[in-house]
Amino acid sequence: MKLLNIRSLRLLTALVFSYFLHIANLIPLKYFQAGAHQYSLLVNAEIALLTLYLLWHERSNVRPWLSRIKGTNLNLIKIMGSDADTVFDTRLGVSLIAVIVGYLLLVGPYTEVPADAWHHLGEFQQHYVYLQQDQLRPITSIWSMFTSYAGYWYFLHAYIAHVADQTIAESLQPLSIATSVSFLLSVYLFALFLFRDSSISRKEAAIVSALGAGFYAVHFGINIFSYVRYYAFAPTMLNFVVYFSAVGVLIQFLRGEKGADILLALLPIHLIVLAAVHMQEAIFFVIMSTALIMVYFIELRLISVNPNGQEASQKGVGQAVIFTNFTAAHLRVSILFITGIVLTLFVWIYSYVNLDRHDPLQHGRLISIGDILPFLKNMYILNPVRDFYQVITAWGVFIYVLFLISVKKFRQYPYLMAGMVLPLLTVFNPLFTDFFLRYSWPEVLWRICYLIPLPFVAAFVLLSSFKSVVGDVGMIRKAGSALAIVLALALLFPLHNTYFDSRFSRIYTLGSVERGNDYLIWADLIEFLDKNPVKRVLTDPVSGYVIKGVTTKRYQGHKFHKIDHINLNHKQYDSETFLPYAHDWLLVVNKRDGELSDNGERARHWPKDVLRVSQYYSDELLQYVSGNPDLFKPIWEQDRITVYQILEPT
């Protein structure tokens, strides 16, 4: 980072370069069908070379560093610098990490059945199986090597588990801690970057950043599902770190900071990583970049300059964003703004003429704007009382109110301004939704709402409110500020009464998974299957979903649904019904039910009785299996679970 003169967000940018190097290593190896050991050799060689180069480049600093180690005064201040604010930032960041790790050690990973976590664990397992055979998972085409279909995130964790000689199941706790810490630490560092050089002090900026990370932990998500819990194993977690880094690079360029041209050259690396790991975050960056450029352009129009090209006064009100070089910033932002308008119009017209729009009313996610404005037809927006509300919740509505009340204070933070108005530019803009539906589907449009920076806004408002409560202001203002703090904390929890219902709270998924809803109710089955050499299993869709994620066994089916599932229940059976599965498959009859799912009922994301797995086995199937010992040989049985070896008819 020193070589590139990167002064901000160094840790995030370093992760981006590491991710980029990981992808660059895998692409040629996958193309030439190399083995896993060759990947190890390449990575180890690169680490050795980079270490030697770093030692050589920093050779002039080695002796002072060694002398500090030999002495007795080695402390955080001497290492990090004597600036008290820097030490405060560091200590607060370390404290944040300690709190996150302690919390996750206490509650454990989120492995409730049948959460999306099991889909991601299944992807880990596929790469893990290939690594055990000293192979890399093959790709279907050259193009797929440069997209998320290559599974760079899934391979990365499978490789770490393989090298550490752990199973995927054994790695769940450390993986959950690693991804959650990385995500929330990136939130903290990005917030420090946003709030620096503003109207608040450096220590206050650190406090706001820590509060923002806390609000991301307890509110960020949808419905009752906390993002840092529910998506801890998904590629999106670390890709959000790349997203924050990319936005930080763009903001520095728009501000006209020193080395802006070098910073701009880093964006292609960010975009490659974003698109290769998970395309969603690459789209997020494009959308936020467009909104940011728009906000910066408007901000520049509200500032007048003197003949020397320096900022002279503000046409608007409130604290404006600081530009290092006003004239250069005005030129680059204006060029980007005009270029963006031209490209947007061209792409939208091309899409409208050449691409068909997906059905906007599929799954009931969107509504016709004609229901609101009768003179318009065939135009659609996101339903504001469904997915949008489930993302922001009653808490987010209240934070929006506080934002509008104190909007002048946020003018100095273009990212926050852009993020808060983003819904009007995207999900509630019928022109945008029309364009979006020509490339994607209505059931994923709501994910753009993840870009709304409610946690940062809430943290800033709470600090301002606290300063008012303890400051020298009138009693009415003190009371209003105290009420804002109380409501901002209370609305994070589910509240129900005669006139108010706030049921979408992430609190439900922030705790430990109940034993009766966790995969460990089948721990003995999992242990047996891990030791059995047969590779494929037939079973019910819920058991198969778990087995695929926590063992190396293969199960055919999409998540816990019956999509692509091999149906076991038939009206009639004969000796050839299971013939295609003889010898190479195990039949798992799992009648050990779990508990009713309270979270499933609250979220309506899966049936409450989803763990009543015994319902998937018909009486006809059970009678056929038990009545034909020559076709089904019991090889393991315990507490309502039986595993059969499927035999060929004699």
Residue located via tokens 């501000």 = 255
Cα separation values, 167 from 164, 434, 537, 551, Å: 9, 45, 19, 8
Taking 50 as the threshold, does the pLDDT of residue 399 lie above it?
yes
**Computed over its alpha carbons, how large is the radius of gyration of the chain?**
28
Segment 577-587 mean pLDDT: 91
Q: How far apart are CA 390 and CA 427, in angstroms?
A: 14
The pair phi, psi for residue 458, each rounded to 5°, is: -60, -45
Polymer length in residues for the chain: 650
Average pLDDT over residues 624-645: 95
Q: Please indicate, yes or no, if residue 533 is contained in any of the structural domains.
A: yes
Position with higher pLDDT, 373 vs 273 = 273
Q: What is the pLDDT of residue 65?
A: 46
Contact predicate 251/415, CB 8 Å: yes
Give the per-residue pLDDT at 76: 37
**The pLDDT of residue 62 is above 60:** no
Q: Give the mean model confidence (pLDDT) for residues 458-487.
A: 93
Q: Are 628 and 644 in contact (CB under 8 A)?
A: no
Q: Is the pLDDT of residue 306 over 70?
A: no
- Which residues, in sequence order, are bridge partners of residue 226? 221
* Percent of the chain at pLDDT exceeding 90: 70
β-partners of residue 221 are 226
pLDDT for position 558: 86
- Most confident range, picked from 83-92, 494-503, 622-631: 622-631
Q: Convert the pLDDT of each residue in 511-559 to its tens digit.
A: 999 999 999 999 999 999 999 999 999 999 999 999 999 999 999 988 8
Q: How far apart are CA 481 and CA 488, in angstroms?
A: 11
Question: Residue 179 pLDDT > 70, yes or no?
Answer: yes
Lowest-confidence pick of 19-23, 253-257, 393-397, 415-419: 253-257
* Beta-sheet pairing, 501-502 with 495-496: antiparallel
Rounded to the nearest angstrom, the gap between the alpha carbon of residue 83 and the centroid of all alpha carbons in its chain is 34
| Residue 313 confidence (pLDDT) above 70 | no
Averaged pLDDT for residues 253-280: 86
Structure tokens at 524: 């003995």
Cross-strand pairs, 633: 645
CA neighbor of 614 nearest in space, from 526, 515, 542: 542
User: In terms of pLDDT, which residue wins out, 96 or 471?
Assistant: 96
pLDDT band at 594 (very low <50, low <70, confident <90, very high): very high
Position 407 scores a pLDDT of 92
Does the pLDDT of residue 74 top 50, yes or no? no
Give the integer Cα–Cα distance in Å for 369 and 259. Answer: 46
Domain annotation covers residue 282? no
Tell me the whole-structure pTM to 2 decimals: 0.91
Query: Which of 587, 563, 567 has the alpha carbon at shortest distance from 642?
Result: 587
Nearest to 89 by CA among 204, 247, 252, 214: 204
- Is there a domain that residue 532 lies in? yes
Mean pLDDT of the residues in the chain: 88
What are the percentages of helix, strand and coil residues in the chain, rounded to 5? 60, 5, 30
Residue 111: per-residue pLDDT: 95
**8 A C-beta contact, residue 227 and residue 299:** no
- The rounded distance, in Å, linking the Cα atoms of 374 and 355 is 26
Confidence of residue 324 (pLDDT cuts 50, 70, 90): low
Q: Which two tokens stand for residue 124?
A: 């880990």
Residues 421, 425, 429, 434, CA torsion sign: negative
Give the tokens for residue 593. 């039910």
Quick one: pLDDT band at residue 92, thresholds 50, 70, 90? very high
Q: What pLDDT does 4 receive?
A: 55
State how beta strands 632-638 and 641-646 pair.
antiparallel
Report the alpha-carbon distance of residue 555 to residue 214 in Å, rounded.
38
Position 21 in a domain: no
Kindly state whether residue 452 falls inside one of the protein's structural domains.
no
- Residue 2: partners with Cβ closer than 8 Å, 6 or more residues away: none
Residue 297 lies in a domain: no
Please check the confidence at residue 63 and state whether its pLDDT lies above 60. Answer: no
Cβ contacts of 622 within 8 Å, gap of 6 or more: 589
In a domain, 641, yes or no: yes
Angle at 188 between CA 185 and CA 193, to 5 degrees: 125
Give CA–CA dist 616/157, Å, rounded: 33
d(CA 422, CA 428): 9
Q: How many domains does the chain have?
A: 1
Confidence of residue 472 (pLDDT cuts 50, 70, 90): confident
CA 106 – CA 194 distance, rounded (Å): 32
Q: What is the pLDDT of residues 274-287, one digit of tens each?
A: 999 999 999 999 99
Does residue 320 surpass a pLDDT of 70? no
Does 463 reside within a domain? no
Angle, CA 158 vertex, CA 23 and CA 147 arms, to 5°: 35
Domain that holds residue 621: 515-646
Q: What's the pLDDT at 363?
A: 84
Say yes or no to pLDDT of 578 above 80.
yes
Average pLDDT, stretch 361-376?
88
Which residue type occupies 615? Q
Q: Is the pLDDT of residue 141 over 90?
A: no
Mean pLDDT of all residues in 328-333: 79
Query: Token pair of 434, please?
Result: 């029309």
Confidence at residue 318, expressed as pLDDT on a 0 to 100 scale: 43
Q: Residue 2 is encoded by which pair of tokens?
A: 């020193």
Tokens 């060929």 map to which residue? 648
Q: Is the peptide bond before 384 cis (omega within 30 degrees of 0)?
A: no
How confident is residue 376, by pLDDT bands cut at 50, 70 and 90? Answer: confident
Q: What is the pLDDT of residue 150?
A: 85
Residue 487 CA, distance from chain mean position: 27
Average pLDDT on 348-371 reads 91
Q: Which amino acid is at 8?
A: S
How sure is the predictor about 434, in pLDDT bands with cuts at 50, 70 and 90?
A: very high
C-alpha 380/C-alpha 366 separation (Å) is 6
Q: What is the pLDDT of residues 105-129, one digit of tens each?
A: 999 999 999 999 999 999 999 999 9
Using H for helix, E for strand and C for coil, what is the string for 444-489?
HHHHHHHHCCHHHHHHHHHHHHHHHHHCCCCHHHHHHHHHHHHHHH
For residue 222, the model assigns a pLDDT of 96
* Contact in structure between 271 and 286 (CB atoms under 8 Å): no
**CA distances (Å), 211 to each of 114, 128, 189, 207, in order?**
32, 38, 12, 6
**Cβ 223 vs Cβ 504: under 8 Å:** yes
Residue 203 banded pLDDT, cuts 50, 70, 90: very high
Quick one: pLDDT at residue 32?
A: 87
User: In the predicted model, is pLDDT for residue 257 greater than 80?
Assistant: no
pLDDT interval class at 1 (50, 70, 90): low
